[in-house]
Amino acid sequence: MRADIEHLTVEVDDARLHVARIGAGPPLLLIHGWPEFWYTWHPVMTRLADRFEVFAPDLRGFGDSDKPDRMFGPHDQAADLAALINELGIAPVGVVSHDIGATITQSLARRSPELIAGLFFFNFMYPGIGSRFLAPEHVAKVWHTWFNQSPLAPRLVGASPDTVRMFVAHFLQEWSHQPEAFDQATIDAFVDNMAKPGNLEGGFMHYRAVAKQRETEAAGTDLPAPIDLPTRVRWTDSDPTLDIAWTDRLGEFFTDLDFAPFPGAGHFPHHENPDLAAREIGDFFGSRRLRRWQR
């Protein structure tokens, strides 16, 4: 871990969020997924630090941030992020996200577009996927979506250090096209993080809180308006949980879209191929098309 990564504690409303920071230049905010925390972005952060000031928070309920004392879903997390951006004084900021972090980012973009210079997404859930997520052959690959909603989940997974390790390592390696990207030291860091008090429950809470939204998306009813912000999407060709074929409706939900495949990676492109991930992020946010970015 680079010594020049700074660790901040930032007050947002009724909670304290842990934020890792590095670099100098236009600001980027990197939003992690599950079962992750800020450290998932570490390889990308160090590659972007010579061009950007990079912030990677732990979402509430994750990492070293406070844990919610109530049901806390994407809209609540988006309110946290809006407050964080304002507290850090970094608006308009480029936002990079994937997985559940991208669900939260979509809420943020609809709630507070004025805070955002542009959006960069890796593989993520969006309303255009619809009922395809519920196809029987796919449900078998994403059984965690329902397991994580069970009140038994924290107790079962947290029964012992061994069960936490088996659970976390399973997803990091099974969802990767290049599982060697998660070496033993990295797996240890993820396991140690998940074993911290409240982090199992904090992560599982997202799945309970977002369940109604997922039902609405699958039914194709009451869908949100398109997001009118410069957006780049890079989607890997080997993610067992999110099929690249599901990108076919992105243009319906993002009006200013730059899409391309991201080859040779699974669910964690930022960790499996951080060189390419950082190039794609840096190219997008370094481009002149982000006219809103006046600092």
Instruction: Name the residues annotated as catalytic.
Output: 99, 207, 267
The CA-based angle 280-47-20, given to 5 degrees, is: 110
Residues 48, 25 contacting (CB under 8 angstroms): no
- Number of C-beta neighbours around residue 168 at 10 A: 23
Of 93, 82, 86, 81, whose CA–CA distance to 26 is shortest?
A: 93
SS3 97: strand
Residues 85, 111 contacting (CB under 8 angstroms): no
Q: Which helix (H) or strand (E) holds 291?
A: none
By CB neighbour count within 10 A (0-12 exposed, 13-18 middle, 19+ buried), where does 25 fall? middle
Q: Which helix (H) or strand (E) holds 90?
A: none
Residues 206, 73 contacting (CB under 8 angstroms): yes
Q: What are phi and psi of 131, to 5 degrees?
A: -75, -5
Residue 136, amino acid: P
H helix runs in the chain, sequence order:
42-48, 74-88, 99-111, 136-139, 144-147, 153-157, 161-174, 184-194, 199-209, 211-219, 250-253, 269-272, 274-285
